[in-house]
């Protein structure tokens, strides 16, 4: 379909300013947070009303033009990477908080509202929205739902899927669906869970009702240093086995500690092999009790140093170090690549050892930050895209790390999504029949396959080709498919 | 009871049923057979597919076969001072985890902790053609592929035969007390909503016969300070009350001829319907014992933005669950066809045409 024909059709209901078509206008949309992949879309549209979104989708459906939805574009897996023959549907103008219901502790918001803006808007009522991805200043709630975003407080407060009640979704033929309800459940299948994390493959989210939680009375953080990552990993298990669910439980290895310290001056011990940050929140008396307990447990687990933040300022500083770990690592090298596997926590020492071996094998440094409470590992691979072939080498190393996560019983993505980035590793994690069911699910919503095609779920042929390159345990994956 | 893996045999039964176009009625302990629409089919007995496959208390994850009884699971968790976060009703000694997850039924803790699906991290199922499928995993955070494990939770067995689950578990609170306060329904609802917006260690609240029952859980110090803030008397029969509420053993439930479950926005005022009402889940779940016509009940609840389920009694061949919009029903039918093309798994248990 020619650009002009699509533009003309869209112009029949969209104002001129809501359609971008010149190369310089399209350029800012060529990638999301995974900037290694870039593509200029055919057109960018910026609708302002749900009716316009319905018309855009209906028009694209009729003209067989693929559509990629985009929020703030902070995603790290290329889920919002445009297609050159497709329309990029930006939800940026849907930026209103529509309603805050203090009695029921919910907020109804448009998808372009920033994650942090929700908590800021309801703070005066003593409430907040729990999921806090590290990009929360910039990322939009619509994108959070599409990717089922997490954050550092997931162990206690859950992911996006646990913190939303209702969605309004437009399907590819322009139909507006309400999924979920203002009650705690809805009749029928749990489409709310299905839609959350579906990476823009099933529908376009145009309104979200989120749950709000009361701000905890008190939050306190402990920093513990270890001379061995294995000991730090075991300390995490010990805390949990003693009946304590920390609000946040983060681990960093030596390269990450050193990078974060030189960047944020958080007071981290730079000679430690690993540090743990353990945040306890809740009712004042209980926090005091648990802080004493956790301190004792950390010492028993062999921590070389245990520090409780002296005041709110120091607590914020401890967190600042962790939250700036990515940009801090970014200063060590021209480029870095952030991975997102999840592993059963007990496998951490083994996985870190093997990541280290892979790092040596590929000649690329890796720093590790770890949501230790829920087993979500973010290895950051340092590389220089200007060196020919280094990106490819980095991607190969990243792929190996994800396959390692699957091998130890984990998953290739904990919170960033599959997007274009991990599409090959989906072939490692899932068998043919499972992938076939993913395609069947997509067909239930989008039979013509126009919403974000090529993302999240690989075709079986792609897996056959990938399997031919990666023989796993001496077995060929997808033996029933032809190789070509 | 000894663990046993009956997966292969179950799969063969499904394959045979698919080939012969024979309908299956998936069953285990039969404690929730009253729930949902009456379904006709050859019984597919899950009781021999049982046992805890893996449980590491430090990972907070339990992997278990679907025929395992809730009693066995809770005994194992108890020994480690842990629990199922959704406090499931048993409705009988033989209740299984499979039936719990298929029905998605949760107890009093649900609004303050988790729903059943919130805790389902992964599942193994056999679809309606007899294909083995494995979705999700044994880790808390996992966004690879569509969230099928949570889609099948509460699907009444209509999307396939669930073999095994990985479930998130939590430590048991250090202590637990129940407070009792005298209120009108209006005051009680107001109080329940106020509690929710404050950082209090409340994990259940229910209004019944003029009394508001509030369960607090946490450290002893936290319980004392919350009791001071909330006021009300300490209720010594709290444990028994919450048990009877969860198991529908209160006289309110045993006397009900037709029992409706109304799921509404928690701040919804007391609904104008004849019959007895019991308010649970901080206002979000209203139990109604009433002989009012179905259409009227559904209309009143829908008006309040909620939905009504004919929980017990009434015509089990009619509509049990709230009717879906036509557009949503089409998606449901498509999903049913994708997972169970021969419509052999519990056909009609949820809706007549699923």
Of residues A474 and A242, more confidence is placed in: A242
Q: With a cut of 80, say whether residue A1 has pLDDT above it.
A: no
Banded pLDDT at A483 (limits 50, 70, 90): very low
Residues in chain A: 484
3-state secondary structure of B26: strand
C-alpha dist (Å) from residue A103 to A191, A282, B305: 26, 21, 15
- State ipTM: 0.97
User: For A3-90, which CATH class?
Assistant: alpha beta
Please tell me whether residues B43 and B131 are part of one structural domain.
yes
In a domain? residue B322: no
Please tell me whether residues B145 and B209 are part of one structural domain.
no
- Which of 3.40.50.1110, 3.40.630.30, 3.30.70.2190, 3.40.50.300 would CATH assign to domain A218-325? 3.30.70.2190
Is residue B95 within 8 Å of B132, Cβ to Cβ? no
Domain with CATH 3.30.465.10 in chain A: 97-214
**A147 vs B143: CB contact, 8 Å cut-off?**
yes
Number of domains in chain B: 2
Averaged pLDDT of chain A: 93
- List pLDDT tens digits, range B263-302: 999 999 999 999 999 999 999 999 999 999 999 999 999 9
* Per-residue confidence (pLDDT) for residue A152, from 0 to 100: 86
* Per-residue confidence (pLDDT) for residue B216, from 0 to 100: 97
End residue of a domain, out of B145, B171, B197: B171
d(CA B215, CA B262): 22
Among candidates A186, A193, A414 on the partner chain, residue whose Cβ is nearest the Cβ of B142: A414
Residue A470: burial class (beta carbons within 10 Å; 0-12, 13-18, 19+): middle
Among candidates A189, A376, A443 on the partner chain, residue whose Cβ is nearest the Cβ of B151: A189
Longest Cα separation, chain A: 70
- Which of 3.40.50.2300, 3.90.1150.10, 3.30.465.10, 3.30.1280.10 would CATH assign to domain A97-214? 3.30.465.10
**A374 vs B147: CB contact, 8 Å cut-off?**
no
Residue in B with minimal Cα distance to A161: B118
How far separated are the first and last CA of chain A, in Å rounded?
A: 30
Residues in chain B: 354
A185 Cβ under 8 Å from any chain B Cβ: yes
Banded pLDDT at A134 (limits 50, 70, 90): confident
Please tell me whether residues B18 and B166 are part of one structural domain.
yes
**B265 vs A104: CB contact, 8 Å cut-off?**
yes
Which H helix or E strand runs over A127? strand A127-128
| Residue in the structure block whose two tokens are 């494995």 | B134
CA angle, residues A67, A69, A72, in degrees to nearest 5: 150
Beta strand pairing status for B42-45 and B24-27? parallel
- List pLDDT tens digits, range B82-117: 999 999 999 999 999 999 999 999 999 999 999 999
Mean pLDDT calculated for residue range B54-63: 95
| Residue in the structure block whose two tokens are 């689950």 | B165
Beta strands in B61-201 (DSSP E): 61-65, 82-83, 120-126, 132-136, 161-168, 170-171, 175-182
Nearest to B32 by CA among B103, B107, B110: B103
- Domain that includes residue B188, residue range: 175-312
Mean pLDDT calculated for residue range A373-390: 92
**A374 vs B140: CB contact, 8 Å cut-off?**
yes
Q: With a cut of 60, say whether residue B350 has pLDDT above it.
A: yes
Banded pLDDT at A324 (limits 50, 70, 90): confident
Nearest to B209 by CA among B241, B232, B177, B246: B241
Is residue B156 within 8 Å of B36, Cβ to Cβ? yes
* Per-residue confidence (pLDDT) for residue A478, from 0 to 100: 52
Both structure tokens of A323: 């939250």
Please tell me whether residues B108 and B187 are part of one structural domain.
no
Sheet with B132-136: strands ordered across = B52-56, B61-65, B161-168, B120-126, B132-136
Domain with CATH 3.30.70.2190 in chain A: 218-325
* Per-residue confidence (pLDDT) for residue B93, from 0 to 100: 96
Write the CATH number of the domain with boundaries A333-421: 3.30.70.2740
- Determine which of A54, A79, A99, A104 to mutate to test the interface with B (most B C-beta atoms within 10 Å): A104
DSSP for residue B96: B
A124 Cβ under 8 Å from any chain B Cβ: no
| CATH number, domain with residue B160 | 3.30.465.10
Banded pLDDT at A439 (limits 50, 70, 90): very high
Please tell me whether residues B236 and B222 are part of one structural domain.
yes
């Amino acid at each position: 379909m020619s650009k002009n024909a699509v533009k003309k059709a869209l112009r029949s209901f969209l104002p001129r300013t809501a359609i971008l078509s010149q190369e310089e206008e399209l350029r800012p949309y060529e990638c999301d947070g995974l900037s290694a992949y870039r593509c200029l879309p055919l057109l960018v549209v910026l609708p302002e009303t749900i009716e316009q979104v319905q018309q855009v989708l209906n028009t694209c459906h009729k003209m067989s033009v693929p559509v990629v939805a985009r929020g703030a574009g902070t995603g790290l897996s290329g889920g919002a990477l445009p297609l050159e023959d497709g329309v990029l549907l930006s939800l940026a103008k849907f930026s209103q908080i529509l309603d805050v219901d203090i009695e029921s502790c919910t907020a109804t918001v448009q998808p372009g509202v920033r994650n942090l803006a929700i908590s800021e808007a309801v703070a005066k009522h003593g409430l907040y929205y729990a999921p806090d991805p590290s990009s929360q200043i910039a990322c939009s709630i619509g994108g959070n739902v599409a990717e089922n975003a997490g954050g550092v407080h997931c162990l206690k407060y859950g992911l996006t899927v646990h913190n939303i009640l209702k969605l309004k979704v437009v399907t590819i033929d322009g139909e507006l669906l309400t999924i979920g309800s203002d009650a705690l459940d809805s009749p029928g299948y749990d489409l709310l869970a299905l839609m959350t994390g579906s990476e823009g493959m099933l529908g376009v989210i145009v309104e979200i009702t989120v749950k709000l939680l009361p701000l905890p009375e008190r939050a306190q953080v402990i920093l513990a240093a270890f001379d061995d990552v294995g000991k730090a990993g075991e300390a995490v298990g010990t805390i949990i086995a003693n009946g304590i669910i920390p609000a946040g439980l983060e681990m960093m290895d030596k390269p990450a500690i050193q990078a974060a310290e030189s960047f944020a001056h958080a007071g981290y011990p730079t000679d430690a092999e690993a540090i743990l940050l353990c945040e306890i929140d809740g009712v004042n008396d209980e926090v005091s009790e648990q802080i004493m307990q956790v301190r004792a447990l950390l010492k028993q687990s062999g921590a070389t140093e245990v520090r409780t933040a002296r005041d709110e300022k120091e607590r914020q500083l401890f967190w600042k170090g962790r939250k700036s770990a990515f940009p801090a690592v970014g200063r060590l090298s021209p480029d870095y690549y952030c991975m997102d596997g999840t592993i059963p926590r007990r496998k951490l020492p083994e996985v870190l050892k093997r990541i280290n071996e892979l790092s040596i094998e590929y000649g690329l440094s890796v720093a590790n930050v770890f949501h230790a409470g829920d087993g979500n590992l973010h290895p950051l691979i340092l590389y220089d895209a200007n060196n020919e072939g280094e990106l490819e080498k980095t991607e190969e190393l990243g792929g190996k790390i994800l396959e390692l996560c699957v091998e130890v019983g984990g998953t290739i993505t904990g919170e960033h999504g599959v997007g274009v980035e991990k599409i090959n590793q989906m072939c490692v994690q899932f068998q043919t029949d499972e992938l076939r069911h993913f395609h069947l699910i997509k067909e239930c919503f989008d039979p013509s396959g126009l919403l974000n095609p090529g993302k999240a779920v690989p075709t079986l042929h792609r897996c056959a080709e990938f399997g031919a390159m990666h023989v796993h345990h001496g077995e060929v994956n997808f033996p029933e498919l032809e190789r070509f | 009871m000894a663990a046993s893996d009956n997966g292969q045999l179950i799969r063969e039964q499904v394959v045979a049923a698919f080939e012969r176009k024979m309908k299956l009625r998936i069953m285990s302990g039969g404690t929730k057979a009253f729930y949902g629409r009456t379904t006709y089919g050859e019984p597919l007995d899950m009781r021999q597919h049982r046992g805890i496959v893996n449980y590491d208390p430090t990972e907070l994850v339990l992997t278990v076969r679907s025929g395992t009884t809730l009693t066995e699971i809770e005994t194992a968790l108890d020994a480690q001072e842990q629990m199922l976060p959704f406090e499931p009703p048993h409705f009988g000694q033989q209740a299984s985890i499979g039936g719990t997850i298929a029905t998605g039924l949760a107890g009093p803790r649900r609004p303050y902790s988790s729903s059943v699906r919130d805790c389902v991290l992964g599942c193994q199922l056999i679809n309606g053609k007899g294909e083995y499928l494995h979705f999700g995993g044994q880790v808390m955070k996992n966004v690879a592929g569509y969230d099928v494990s949570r889609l099948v939770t509460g699907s009444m067995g209509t999307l396939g035969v669930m073999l095994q689950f990985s479930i998130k578990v939590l430590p048991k609170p250090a202590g637990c007390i129940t407070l009792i306060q005298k209120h009108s329904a209006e005051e009680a609802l107001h109080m329940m909503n106020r509690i929710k917006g404050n950082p209090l260690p409340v994990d259940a609240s229910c209004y019944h016969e003029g009394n508001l029952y509030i369960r607090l859980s946490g450290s002893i110090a936290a319980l004392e300070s919350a009791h001071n803030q909330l006021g009300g008397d300490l209720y010594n029969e709290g444990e028994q009350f919450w048990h009877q509420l969860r198991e529908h053993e209160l006289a309110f439930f045993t006397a009900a001829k037709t029992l409706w479950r109304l799921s509404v926005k928690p701040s919804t005022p007391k609904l104008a319907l004849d019959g007895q009402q019991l308010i649970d889940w901080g206002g979000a779940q209203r139990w109604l014992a009433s002989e009012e016509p179905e259409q009227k009940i559904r209309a009143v609840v829908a008006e309040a933005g909620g939905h009504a389920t004919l929980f017990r009694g009434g015509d089990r061949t009619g509509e049990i669950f709230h009717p879906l919009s036509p557009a949503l029903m089409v998606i449901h039918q498509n999903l049913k066809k994708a997972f169970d093309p021969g419509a052999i798994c519990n056909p009609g248990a949820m809706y007549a045409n699923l």
